[in-house]
Amino acid sequence: MTPTNQRYTTTVLLLFCACAAVAQTAAPGAPEIRATLLGTSPAVGRAGTSTLVEAGPERFLIDAGSGALERLVRAGFLMNPPSKLFITHLHSDHIVGIPDLLLAPWTGPSQRKVPFEVWGPQGTREMMRHFQAAFEFDIHVRRDIDEHISSEGIKVLARDIQEGAVYERNGVKISAFLVDHGPVKPAFGYRIDYAGHSIAFSGDTRPSDNLVKHCQGVDVLIHEVIDEQALRKLVPTEELLKAIVGHHTTPEQAGQVFDRVKPKLAVFSHVIALVDLERVPYSGRMELGEDLMVIDVGEQVRVKRPQANAPLR
């Protein structure tokens, strides 16, 4: 093994063993659906947008922003991180964590032996082909010369999707719906249905009638938000501010969306500048998402906020 490969492997081993005492057994009366907000903001100080969803026997990610793999380790997924990823759109802050998810679980202690599966908008297949090409040397050495790691585990099954049901296995149904992210087309939200319960993700969007239509009846709606007043202090020009805000949803607009959907719980994620919930014109239950927050969806919807420096499982 070359010194470079040895250092990389050592780093991966340390990462995956950081929480080695954490158990992953399901407790009796476990929720039907669990969502763990791995990252909730493209801003400095939080991990990039990514959410782990567990529904029955299925586990998958919605988006893969920066730090997604590290947050999976913090959440307790040491040896078997999910091998399925659903992408809302191809902006870099939603996909920059993909190389980690592709390579580290394959080379590290988990030794992934099944293909990495990816669903996303047009361009997803081509993007994944380029990711594999970018790491062609590393893949070749590890698979064919040095460690002889599973050739199946580094395969990629990528799909360019359209609106509609995109995944149905083990009673879990995942539906993609188009949202309005300005010139970024197509951009999707996702709805997950399992055992009579449901959770939906807006993706990046300005107020969208199509989102409202497809989210009717969900238990939880996880929606993006941007605070124009707070962002104004961070953006250098008024022109750029208007462009950013024009592609996203303000707290006031989000309240109107929530009032039309009426979820049991509305959660803000992809938080661009902190949001004052008092400004949201909605009387239902709301939470401001934070990294490693857990949302359990069953007969009741429960929220677990992370304790500092403590694994969640």
Which sequence positions are flagged as catalytic?
Answer: 93
Tally Cβ neighbours within 10 Å of residue 285.
14
Question: Token pair of 255, please?
Answer: 């309240």
Contact 251/274 with Cβ under 8 angstroms? Answer: no
Contact 87/126 with Cβ under 8 angstroms? Answer: no
d(CA 81, CA 196): 26
Name which of 271, 202, 235 is nearest 49 in CA terms: 271
3-state secondary structure of 4: helix
3-state secondary structure of 136: helix
Contact 89/186 with Cβ under 8 angstroms? Answer: yes
Q: How far is CA 157 from the centre of its chain?
A: 18
Q: Kind of pairing, strands 293-297 and 301-304?
A: antiparallel
Contact 51/61 with Cβ under 8 angstroms? Answer: yes
Omega of the bond leading into 263 within 30 degrees of 0 (cis): no
Q: How far is CA 2 from the centre of its chain?
A: 34
